[in-house]
Structure 1
Amino acid sequence: MTHNVLSLSGARLALDGNAGRVEILHGIDLDVAKGETLGLVGPSGSGKSSLLMLMGGLERATGGQIIALGQDLTAMSEDALARFRREHMGVVFQSFHLIPTMTALENVATPLELAGHRDAFDRAAAELEAVGLSHRADHYPSQMSGGEQQRVALARACAPRPEILLADEPTGNLDGSNGAAIIDLLFGLRDRHGATLILVTHADDLATRCDRVVHLRDGHVAPQDRAEATPREAAT
């Protein structure tokens, strides 16, 4: 039997804006299997990034249920959600979100320290080595290129060895060659740690590297994807 690390049942998201309440996601049903790589694609405004935020507990669902690793995210307090993300999830954004007053090593090690890992700096150093940035460990974000900053962000996301890795347009602020290198690193780190990877992208060639692709349109999962089995499900 397939073990799902994420299950969404009727998940909805509505946000209040200047024009009133706007429905972003409309009753999403979606399961993600352990170890799967899932690509979320769709035009701008289709809801793919919002769906990723729901999966990571970074946005509150306004309807339905989201189960992650057997835990109901929709029933958790903000503090509980923060602890859950820290212990079980890694998140990579289009913008790097590095702390400018911390070195690369400190940016990677600090979340580990907050989680109580005594070997935080050793693990951070190992992750920086894995993304080819050992020589930049003592540099600040302003001293690094965009590609190098995203590598630090990848190391930070993977250092806790999360079961679930979420990436939202991780190459959006990079040129083609740097973007390709980041994607190779992202999939390599995912393989190294055995995490389930969920990737938001607008690039079809990148999406095809995933085990499964889900298309979003106007806040809905496209009909053909609802009945589409993952390679693991098809093999069972």
Structure 2
Amino acid sequence: MSTDARPVLSLQDVHLSLNGNTGPITILQNITLDVTRGETLALVGPSGSGKSSLLMVMGGLERASGGEVAAMGQDLTRLDEDALARFRRHHMGVVFQSFHLIPTMTALENVATPLELSGARDAFDRARAELEAVGLGHRCDHMPAQMSGGEQQRVALARAVVTQPDILLADEPTGNLDQANGAQVMDLLFDLRDRHNSTLVMVTHAPELAARCDRVVRLRDGRIHGDAAQEAAE
């Protein structure tokens, strides 16, 4: 998909430190990175390199200790928690490795929740349409515990895109799935991204998933150690 030159995400000299038992621990340092509209970007690197932390900083789910983080032209570092939540609700969808579905809600209710929080009157109609788009129209009334891991991740994907987000963030979206379900979720992720024209940033250890992205950023020890554009797989 074509991109334009405007950064939808922009990080300038971002640092992240967290307090440990023996004092501050540096997680990210000197991260400067722009992501353009419509781009698909993979964050790769060994465990502990800072990939997931960087994704969380991009989404305002973790506050940077220093530097600037902007999304859609909005400086996330200046927003309080309520404002960040509203911003994500309108502009971002997030998919986690461990699904994070609400166990007491049906698949339909889980997907409709972001729309209900935004005051959408057609929340359940739109949620049903997204579940049908991921092949789970017949599972609308099922609870997460009644579904397989692959089905739960497909519900999570539907929930992430139901608001038609500008930015889609995915943290190891196939990490808890077997090969067959992982491949299915991988295809759905890119199909949904194309349908909603979202910018996609994902953390992955799967080479085949990274190979489908326009660009791969490699992290090591909390720093960027590689940033390369590539031909995305058809």
Compute the TM-score of the two structures, normalised by the length of structure 1.
Answer: 0.95
Q: In the alignment, which residue of structure 1 is the partner of 2:90?
A: 87
**Distance in 1 separating the partners of 2:36 and 2:23:** 36
**Distance in 1 separating the partners of 2:21 and 2:95:** 29
**Distance in 1 separating the partners of 2:44 and 2:25:** 21
Q: In the alignment, which residue of structure 1 is the partner of 2:209?
A: 206
Q: 1:140 aligns with which of 118, 138, 143?
A: 143
SS at match of 1:21: strand
Q: In the alignment, which residue of structure 1 is the partner of 2:157?
A: 154
**Distance in 1 separating the partners of 2:164 and 2:79:** 22
CA shift digits 1:175-215 (9 cap, x unpaired): 00000100000000000000000010011121010000000
**Distance in 2 separating the partners of 1:180 and 1:16:** 38
Alignment pair present for 1:25 and 2:28: yes
SS at match of 1:113: helix
Contact kept? 2:161, 2:192, Cα under 8 Å: yes
Q: In the alignment, which residue of structure 1 is the partner of 2:8?
A: 5
Q: In the alignment, which residue of structure 1 is the partner of 2:184?
A: 181
Displacement over 2 Å in runs of 4+: 228-231
Alignment of 1:1-236 (within 5 A): 2-222=5-225, 224-225=226-227, 228=228
Which amino acid letter does the alignment assign opposite residue 94 of structure 1? Answer: Q
Which amino acid letter does the alignment assign opposite residue 191 of structure 1? Answer: D
**Distance in 2 separating the partners of 1:111 and 1:71:** 21
CA shift digits 1:74-133 (9 cap, x unpaired): 111111000000110000000011111100000001111011111100100000000000
Which amino acid letter does the alignment assign opposite residue 10 of structure 2? Answer: S
Instruction: Give 1:230 shift.
Output: 7.3
Q: In the alignment, which residue of structure 2 is the partner of 1:234?
A: none
SS at match of 1:167: strand
Which amino acid letter does the alignment assign opposite residue 157 of structure 2? Answer: L
CA shift digits 1:51-93 (9 cap, x unpaired): 0000000000000001100000011111100000011000000
Which amino acid letter does the alignment assign opposite residue 162 of structure 2? Answer: A
**Distance in 1 separating the partners of 2:122 and 2:166:** 19
Structure 1 gaps of 5+ residues are 232-236
Compute the TM-score of the two structures, normalised by the length of structure 2.
Answer: 0.95
Identity of aligned residues (%): 72
Q: Relative to structure 1, is the Cα distance of residues 193 and 49 closer, same or farther in structure 2, using a 3 angstrom cutoff?
A: same
